[in-house]
Structure 1
Amino acid sequence: MSLRLIHYSDLENAYDDPTRAARVAGLVERVRADAGPDPIVLGSGDDTAPGVLSLTYEGRQSLDLYRTLDPDVETFGNHDFDYGLDTAREIVAESPQAWVSSNVFLDGRPFGEGVGVEPWTIVERGGDRVGVFGVLDDATPALNPTAEPLDVTDPVEAAREATGALRDRGVDAVVALSHLGTGDRELAAAVDVDAVLGGHVPSERIERIDGTTLTRPGSGGQVLLELDLTDGAVNRHEVDDAPPDGSVQSRLDERLSDAGLDEVVGYVEEPIERTESAVFRGESRIGNFVADAYRWAAGADVGLQNSGGVRAGPPLIDAVTVADLVSVVPFQEPVSVAELSGTELLAVLRGAVESDLKFAEPDWWHAHVSGARLVWDRNEHSLVDVTVGGDPVDPDATYSLATTDYLFFSADEFPALDERHRVRRLDTQYEVLADYARERGIDPIRSGRIVRSAGSDY
Structure 2
Amino acid sequence: MSRDRDYGRRDVLRAGGIVLGGSLVSGPAAAADGEGATTLTVLSYNDIQTAAAQDENFPRLVTLIEQRRAAADGPVVVVGGGDEVGPHALSPISQWRAPVDVLNEVEPDADVIGNHEFDYGLDPISDVTADSEFPWLATNLVDTETGEAFDGTESYRIVERGGVSVGIIGLADQGATTGKTNIDFAAEGITIEDYTETAPAEAKRLKEEEGVDAVVALAHTGIGDAEGLAEADADDDIDVIVVGDDEQLYPPQEVDGSIVSESRARAAYLSEIELTIEGGEVTAWDGELIEVTEDVEKDPTASGIINDYRAEVSLDSPVVETETPLNATFGANYHRETGYGNLITDAMRERVDADAAITNAGGIRSDSVYGPGEITGGDIFNTLPFPNTVVSLELTGEELVETLESQVVTLESDTGQQFGEEISQQTSGLRFEWVPHDDADELVREVYVGGEPLDPDETYEVAVNSYIANGGSGYPLEDKPVVEETGELQATTVVDYLEPQETIAPTVEGRMQRVDRDLPDASVTVDGNGKVVTQFDAPDDVDSVAEDTVAVWASDGEHLDAEKAVFDDEEATLMVRVDDGDLAETVEDADDGEEVPLDLYAKYESSEFDHIYFERSRLNADVAATVRRRGRGRAGPPGR
The TM-score, its normalising length taken from structure 2, stands at: 0.65
Partner of 2:206: 166
Distance in 2, Cα, partners of 1:395 & 1:114: 47
**SS in structure 1 of the partner of residue 285 of structure 2:** coil
The superposition leaves residues 95-151 of structure 1 with CA deviations (integer Å, 9 ceiling, x where unpaired) of 232322112234634677775x32112223433332210012335256334675361
What is the correspondence of 1:234-383 to structure 2 with a 5 Å cutoff? 234-317=288-371, 318-354=373-409, 361-363=418-420, 365=422, 366-378=424-436, 380=438, 383=443
Partner of 2:506: 444
Partner of 2:169: 133
- 2:468 corresponds to which of 398, 401, 407: 407
Q: Note closer, same or farther for the CA distance 1:113–1:348 as it changes in structure 2 (3 Å cut).
A: closer
Between 1:69-78 and 1:386-395, the stretch displaced more is 386-395
Aligned residues of 2:323 and 2:504 also touching (Cα < 8 A): no
**SS in structure 2 of the partner of residue 233 of structure 1:** strand
Distance in 1, Cα, partners of 2:465 & 2:292: 33
Distance in 2, Cα, partners of 1:354 & 1:37: 47
Partner of 1:195: 240
- 1:151 corresponds to which of 158, 171, 190: 190
Query: How far has the Cα of 1:153 moved from its partner?
Result: 0.9
- 1:104 corresponds to which of 141, 149, 159: 141
Distance in 1, Cα, partners of 2:229 & 2:88: 29
**SS in structure 1 of the partner of residue 166 of structure 2:** strand
Partner of 2:265: 219
Between 1:23-32 and 1:181-190, the stretch displaced more is 181-190
**SS in structure 2 of the partner of residue 83 of structure 1:** coil
Query: How far has the Cα of 1:386 moved from its partner?
Result: 4.1
Which segments of 5 or more consecutive residues in structure 1 lack a partner in the other structure? none
Partner of 2:116: 79
Which structure is higher in strand share?
2
Distance in 1, Cα, partners of 2:184 & 2:102: 24
Amino acid at match of 1:9: N
Q: Note closer, same or farther for the CA distance 1:114–1:306 as it changes in structure 2 (3 Å cut).
A: closer
Aligned residues of 1:201 and 1:360 also touching (Cα < 8 A): no
Query: How far has the Cα of 1:283 moved from its partner?
Result: 2.1
Aligned residues of 1:137 and 1:152 also touching (Cα < 8 A): no
Aligned residues of 1:203 and 1:276 also touching (Cα < 8 A): no
Aligned residues of 2:165 and 2:214 also touching (Cα < 8 A): yes
Between 1:241-250 and 1:102-111, the stretch displaced more is 102-111
**SS in structure 1 of the partner of residue 97 of structure 2:** coil
The answer to whether residue 431 in structure 2 is matched with residue 431 in structure 1 is no
Distance in 1, Cα, partners of 2:287 & 2:81: 19
Between 1:284-293 and 1:141-150, the stretch displaced more is 141-150
Identity, in percent, stands at 28
Q: Note closer, same or farther for the CA distance 1:385–1:328 as it changes in structure 2 (3 Å cut).
A: same
Amino acid at match of 2:319: V
**SS in structure 1 of the partner of residue 56 of structure 2:** helix
Aligned residues of 1:188 and 1:212 also touching (Cα < 8 A): yes
Q: Note closer, same or farther for the CA distance 1:310–1:114 as it changes in structure 2 (3 Å cut).
A: closer
Q: Note closer, same or farther for the CA distance 1:2–1:223 as it changes in structure 2 (3 Å cut).
A: same
Distance in 1, Cα, partners of 2:242 & 2:364: 24
**SS in structure 2 of the partner of residue 320 of structure 1:** strand
Amino acid at match of 1:369: T
**SS in structure 1 of the partner of residue 499 of structure 2:** helix
- 2:62 corresponds to which of 25, 45, 49: 25
Give the number of equivalent residue pairs: 456
Q: Note closer, same or farther for the CA distance 1:27–1:274 as it changes in structure 2 (3 Å cut).
A: farther
Query: How far has the Cα of 1:310 moved from its partner?
Result: 0.8
Query: How far has the Cα of 1:11 moved from its partner?
Result: 0.9
Partner of 2:158: 122
Q: Note closer, same or farther for the CA distance 1:260–1:65 as it changes in structure 2 (3 Å cut).
A: same
Which of these two proteins has the greater Rg computed from alpha carbons? Answer: 2
Partner of 1:417: 477
Q: Note closer, same or farther for the CA distance 1:5–1:358 as it changes in structure 2 (3 Å cut).
A: farther
Aligned residues of 1:203 and 1:216 also touching (Cα < 8 A): yes
Query: How far has the Cα of 1:445 moved from its partner?
Result: 0.9
Aligned residues of 1:82 and 1:147 also touching (Cα < 8 A): no
Larger RCO, structures 1/2 (Cα 8 Å, 6+ apart): 1
Partner of 1:185: 227
The TM-score, its normalising length taken from structure 1, stands at: 0.89
What's the Cα RMSD here?
3.0
Between 1:246-255 and 1:352-361, the stretch displaced more is 352-361
Between 1:77-86 and 1:399-408, the stretch displaced more is 77-86
**SS in structure 2 of the partner of residue 3 of structure 1:** strand
Distance in 2, Cα, partners of 1:439 & 1:109: 56
Aligned residues of 2:330 and 2:362 also touching (Cα < 8 A): no
Which structure is higher in helix share?
1
**SS in structure 1 of the partner of residue 474 of structure 2:** coil
Q: Note closer, same or farther for the CA distance 1:288–1:150 as it changes in structure 2 (3 Å cut).
A: farther
Amino acid at match of 1:424: E
**SS in structure 2 of the partner of residue 159 of structure 1:** helix
The superposition leaves residues 253-277 of structure 1 with CA deviations (integer Å, 9 ceiling, x where unpaired) of 1121023444432122444233332
